[in-house]
Amino acid sequence: LIGIDVSKDTDFSEWYQQVLLKGDMLDYYDISGCYILKPASQFVWDEVRAWFDLRIKRLGVKNCSFPLFVSEDVLNREKAHIEGFAAEVAWVTHGGSTKLEKKIAIRPTSETVMYPYYAKWIQSYRDLPLKLNQWNSVVRWEFKHPQPFLRTREFHWQEGHTAHLTEAEAGEEVLQILDLYADIYEQLLAVPVIKGRKTEKEKFAGGYYTTTVEGYIPATGRGIQGGTSHCLGQNFSKMFGITVQDPNAKTEEEKKNALHVWQNSWGLSTRVIGVMVMIHGDDRGLVMPPRVVETQVVIVPVGVTAKMSDEDKDALYKEIEGLKEVLKAVDVRVVSDLREGYSPGWKFNDWELKGTPLRLEFGPGESKGHFVTASRRDLPKEESKSQIAISELNTAIPALLDTIQKDLFNRAEAKYKSHTIKITKWEDFVPALNDKNVCLLQHCLTEACEDQIKESSARSAEEQSGVPQDERAPSMGAKSLCIPFDQPEGIEKGVTPCGNPKCSNKAEAWCLFGRSY
Ligand SMILES: O=C1CCCN[C@@H]1CCCn1cnc2cc(F)c(F)cc2c1=O
Ligand SMILES: [Mg+2]
C-alpha cells in the first residue's frame, strides 16, 4: 500500500480516483458508471441520512417505498416531461430468456411512479399537505464519462415529493428543504454553498422554478450543483389530475370546479460525498470532516522496540485501551492500531490516506509524562503536532475535533469567496474562468444570452488550448449556476448586462456563471 503518486494540482482526475481507492471509500465495478460504496463512504451517507431524516420528519414528511420499475406507458405518460431524458432511461426487456411483451423502465426519478397514486389518494383538501419521501437508488444511463459519486449510472439519493393546497405553502417548504441541504453541506461536510434560483434555461423543465445549492471545487475552478428543491407549480397536478375541492367554495357551481394542488420535489444524492472529498482531500489522501467520518481518532503505539519486554508492551497497550475508553465515554469514534509487524510510520501513512482527522501517538515517553502526542490531519505535518495531558483528553479531544471541523469549513469558504468574482467587462470573463474562478455577471436572464455565453466561452477555450471539446468530458463552456438569493448591491446601469456584447437587454440580476460538472 503506497501513497498517492500524483498531485491534486497536476492530475486532478487521477488524484481523485486514487484518493477514493486508497482511502478505502469505494471499489470499482465491471459495469461502467457503477461503483461499490465501502463502509467508509456508506458511513458518511448514513450520517447525512440520519440528520436529514430526523428533520424532514419534524416537517411532517413520511418515508415510503414505491416500485423500482416503471411501465413504458406510465413513464411516457407526458411526452413533455420525458422527451429530453429518453436517452438516459434504462430498460428491462427480458425475464430470463423470455422477451417481455412491453419493456419496463428502471426508475430514473419517481414522479411518474408516484403521482398517479397522489391523484388516487388525494380527494379532499383535508388530505393535504401530503408529504412523502423515498430513500432509494435510481438509474440514469449517462452518456458523459462517469465520475465516482459525481456522475454515476446508479446513485443513492432521497427524493421528496409533496402536495399542497396553496402556492404559498409549497413555496415555504421549497425553501425549508433548501436550507436543510445547505446545512448538510456546511454543518456536516464542512462545504460552503451558495443558495439561489436556477435560470429558466437551467431549471427542471417540468417544474415551475428550481432552487439550488451550488458548490465550488477549487482544484478545477468548477461549480457543482449540490442539491435541488423544485416547486413544480400545478404542472404535474394538471398532468396527473391531482385535484381537491375548493375549501372556500360556497355555491354548488363553485363546489364543482376542482383545485389543482401545488407540488414540490426535492433531491440530494451521494454526490455530496464526492464534493466533500474533492474539496478537502490533499496529496496525502482523504481529509475527512470529524462530523461524518467513521473513525475520528486513531491511537498508534510508538517507541515499541524489539528490546522492550513483553510485559512493558502489554502494559503500554493496556494504557492505550484505557485512553480509548476515556474517549468513547464522550462519544468520540476512536480505534487503536495495534497491528504487529507494521512500523508507526507505515500506520501514520495508512490513516492519513483514510483522512482520519486526529492521530494520537502513545509510547514510553508519553506514558511517563502522562500525555499523548496529537497530530491533526488537516494541517501541514510541521504544524500539526501538539501534546495533550491525559487528564484533559475527555474535553480537549472533542474540542479539537470541533476546531478541525470549523477550520475545514472556514478554509473552504475563504477559497470559494476569493474565487467568486464580479465581472463588468466581457473581456475579463474567460480569463477569470481560466483562473479557476466562478463569475458574477449582471445578466438579462434570457436563454439566448446564456447560450451565447456558453458557446463563446467554450469556443475561446478551444482556440486557446487547440484541443476540441470531448463530448463526454465536462464542458469548457460556462453555464449559469444560479441567481444567488444574496444579490450583490444594485445593478449598475449601462454595464453590458450579461457579458454578451451583442445583448441589448436590460440587466435583471447578478447571476453566477462558471464551468461546472
Ligand atoms: O431533481 C429532482 C429531485 C427529486 C425528484 N425529481 C426531481 C426532478 C428530476 C428531473 N429529471 C432528471 N433526470 C431524468 C432522467 C430521466 F431518464 C428521466 F426519465 C427523467 C428525469 C427527470 O425528470
Ligand atoms: Mg441529468
Determine which residue's CA is closest to atom 4 belonging to ligand 1: 267
Q: Would the CB of 88 count as within 6 Å of ligand 1?
A: yes
Predicted confidence at residue 1, as pLDDT, reads 56
Ligand nearest to the CA of 85: 1
Dist. CA 40–CA 471, nearest whole Å = 33
Ligand nearest to the CA of 139: 1
Of ligand 1's listed atoms, the one at least distance from the Cα of 105 is: 19
Strand 385-389 to strand 98-106: parallel, antiparallel, or no bridges (unpaired)? unpaired
Predicted confidence at residue 123, as pLDDT, reads 94
Q: Would the CB of 373 count as within 6 Å of ligand 1?
A: no
Residue 224 near residue 198 (C-beta atoms within 8 A): no
The Å distance, Cα 154 to ligand 2 centre, comes to 12
Dist. CA 472–CA 158, nearest whole Å = 27
Classify the C-alpha dihedral 356-361-362-366 as positive or negative.
negative
The Å distance, Cα 424 to ligand 2 centre, comes to 31
Predicted confidence at residue 79, as pLDDT, reads 79
Q: Chunk the chain into consecutive blocks of 10 residues (it has 517) and report each block's average pLDDT, rounded to whole numbers.
A: 89 97 98 98 99 98 98 88 91 98 98 97 96 98 97 98 98 98 99 98 96 98 98 97 91 86 98 98 98 98 94 97 98 98 96 98 98 98 96 98 98 98 90 96 92 90 88 94 94 70 86 97
Of ligand 1's listed atoms, the one at least distance from the Cα of 141 is: 17
Query: In the chain, what is the straight-line distance between the N-terminal and C-terminal CA atoms, in Å?
Result: 31
List beta partners, residue 266.
Answer: 160, 229
Q: Would the CB of 266 count as within 6 Å of ligand 1?
A: yes
Per the listing, cell 469514534 goes with 333
Q: How many CA atoms lie within 13 A of 113 on its CB side?
A: 21
Dist. CA 371–CA 366, nearest whole Å = 5
Residue 456 near residue 498 (C-beta atoms within 8 A): no
The Å distance, Cα 108 to ligand 2 centre, comes to 9
The Å distance, Cα 268 to ligand 1 centre, comes to 12
Quote the radius of gyration of the chain (alpha carbons, Å): 26
**3 state DSSP class of 445:** coil
Q: Would the CB of 82 count as within 6 Å of ligand 1?
A: yes
Predicted confidence at residue 497, as pLDDT, reads 65
Ligand nearest to the CA of 160: 1
Cell of 296: 475520528
Q: Would the CB of 371 count as within 6 Å of ligand 1?
A: no
pTM here is 0.97
Instruction: Name residue 3's amino acid.
Output: G
Predicted confidence at residue 492, as pLDDT, reads 76
Predicted confidence at residue 502, as pLDDT, reads 77
Determine which residue's CA is closest to atom 6 belonging to ligand 1: 109
Ligand nearest to the CA of 269: 1
Q: Would the CB of 260 count as within 6 Å of ligand 1?
A: no
Per the listing, cell 411516457 goes with 76
